[in-house]
Amino acid sequence: MHPVIAVDGTHLKGRFGDTMFVATAQDGNEQVYPIAFGYGDSENNLSWEWFLECLRGALGHIDDLVFISDRHASIEAGISNVFPYATHTICCWHFGENMKKRFHRKDVADIKDNAARSYRQIQYDRHMEELRKLHKGAYDYAIDADSHGNCH
């Protein structure tokens, strides 16, 4: 089993308008726990790289490390720069929300979610074929995302 870390940022609505960066993991009882958090001026390359370097300093080298995040370009850049040997995948929940917004249809996001949760290739292929028949644009969007790292 690979060690998995989820990273995300959230914009704070306080007086300073900063961004909070978080890294979390899940234990054997499926309980989520925080690993690290930090504050920066915004979700940009410099801030994400700083946060991820702090995380690397705290954790050290971990073999077979996997990151899950949304598709924010600064997160992708930071992970590839700071953790070049780690695998980076897309969070299915975020991806589904993006599909709903982009195509204004919950059903296409649900089908992609079913595909992502498939344990066998044949199941995945069936769901993706269903998506292709239902909405070619959503299918193409999902295939493009899969080429950058499957949803998890």
**How high is the pLDDT of residue 151?**
60
Distances (CA, A) of 78 to 45, 53, 132: 6, 9, 33
Residue 150: pLDDT over 80: no
- For residues 87 and 149, the answer to whether their CB atoms sit within 8 Å is yes
Question: Of 44-58, 80-94, 96-110, which has the strongest mean pLDDT?
Answer: 44-58
Rounded percentage of the chain residues whose pLDDT exceeds 90:
63
Task: Please state the CATH superfamily assignment of the domain spanning residues 4-90 in this structure.
Answer: Ribonuclease H-like superfamily/Ribonuclease H (3.30.420.10)
- For residues 7 and 22, the answer to whether their CB atoms sit within 8 Å is yes
Domain segments of the chain: what residues?
4-90, 92-147
Phi, psi (rounded to 5 degrees) for 26: -130, 135
| E-strand stretches of 12-140 | 19-26, 32-40, 66-69, 87-90
Look at 96 and 130; give whichever has higher pLDDT. Answer: 130
Q: Taking the model in full, what pTM does it have?
A: 0.79
Average pLDDT for 56-79: 92
**How high is the pLDDT of residue 123?**
93
